[in-house]
Structure formats: C-alpha cells, structure tokens
Amino acid sequence: MEGKSASPKYYGGINNKFENVIIKGLDLNIRLVFSGGNYEYNYIEQRSVNLGNGAMNLNKDLIENSWTPDNKDAKYPLLVWSYKFPYSYDENGNIVGQDDPKYNPTNPLSFNYESTSLSRYLYRADYIRVKSIEIGYTIPKVFAENRLKLTSLRLFASANNVFVFSPFYKGWDPETGDRALPPSHTFNFGINIGL
C-alpha cells in the first residue's frame, strides 16, 4: 500500500542492570526492544474471514457481521462458497444478479478474495517487547570461599520474550507478522560457579 512500508522508521533497545538495590548480592537485568513506524499485513486474519471452499478455520465474528441484502453496512463481504458469487456477466459484460433474466448460472462471477491484498488487514506494527528479565543472587564471597571453597557462586533465573505491547497490530506478533511463528517464551535457571 502506498506510503506504508514494512521497514521500521525507528527501532532500538534499552538495557538496565540493578545491583544491590534491595539486598546485597541481588541483581536484576531487564532488556526492552522496540520498533515502529512500519506496517504488517495480517494474512492470517484475512484467511479467517474468507469462506473459500470451507478448508480454513473461520473467525466467529464473520457469521453475524457478513454482508446480506438486509445488512449492507456489514463488516465483512458476502459469504460465498468457493469464491462463486451469485452474479454473472451478461452478453454486454455487465454484472447481473441471480434475479435478472440475463443471469448465466453456468458462469458465476468468481472473485478469489484470498489472493487479493486489502488495506483493511494492514496494521501499524509498533511494539515494545520485554525481551529478557534476569534475576540473580551472588552468595557472599566470605561464605563461598570459607564454606564452599569457591571463588564465587551466583544463582540466577531468566525469562526471554516475556511480553509484547502492540496497541495497533491484531496478529500473532508485530515483529514477525504472519511470516513466522512468534518468538517463544523461554525460562532458564542456572548456577555460575567460580573455581
């Protein structure tokens, strides 16, 4: 779509490390990443509101908000099976409906909505992601050296891809769009030992 690029206009990150704030030896590291000014096409949403030949999972909102003669201001287009609309072309190339004597049932109007890009599924992809959080505790050096015979000992836990805030994008993930699965949430626990 004109003037709407998939390339971000800005992006970056912030990393904060806090040490000995509440308890001596305790550390907390938080990393945020952000991006914005770009657009992502939500192909998954488009497919979920397209009946097609019935092979897709459909959005439940589709049934009550599709176009009918009584609901001409509907959110979604007319529901049709296998892209065959109840219209055809007459001998002069004009579109006519089923109630018109010039309607040709052997040549219904076919429109492959699934292969057409529509701006209604284009969303701003601005986001802020909590990329990682790590909390650790370093055992006091005196205890580590005297009791455990180690130069250092640190216990830690971390989480990656904790949360993403995206006020405009309705898909799985604004960073990957629908081209790939969203980054997975991972959790790690560990011990750093200094000998």
Q: What pLDDT, on a 0 to 100 scale, did the predictor assign at position 9?
A: 95
> What value does the mean pLDDT take over residues 97-115?
72
Instruction: State mean pLDDT over 159-170.
Output: 93
Identify the pLDDT of residue 142.
Answer: 82
The Cα 132–Cα 17 span in angstroms is 12
Q: How much is the pLDDT for 89? A: 78
Mean pLDDT, rounded, for 74-96: 77
pLDDT of 114 higher than 60: no
Contact (Cβ atoms closer than 8 angstroms) between residue 76 and residue 49: yes
CB-based contact 108:86 (threshold 8 Å)? yes
Split at pLDDT 50, 70, 90, the class of 160 is very high
Q: Which two tokens stand for residue 151?
A: 């130069």
CA 148 to chain centre: 48
Structure confidence at residue 55 (pLDDT): 61
Residue 91 has pLDDT above 90, yes or no: no
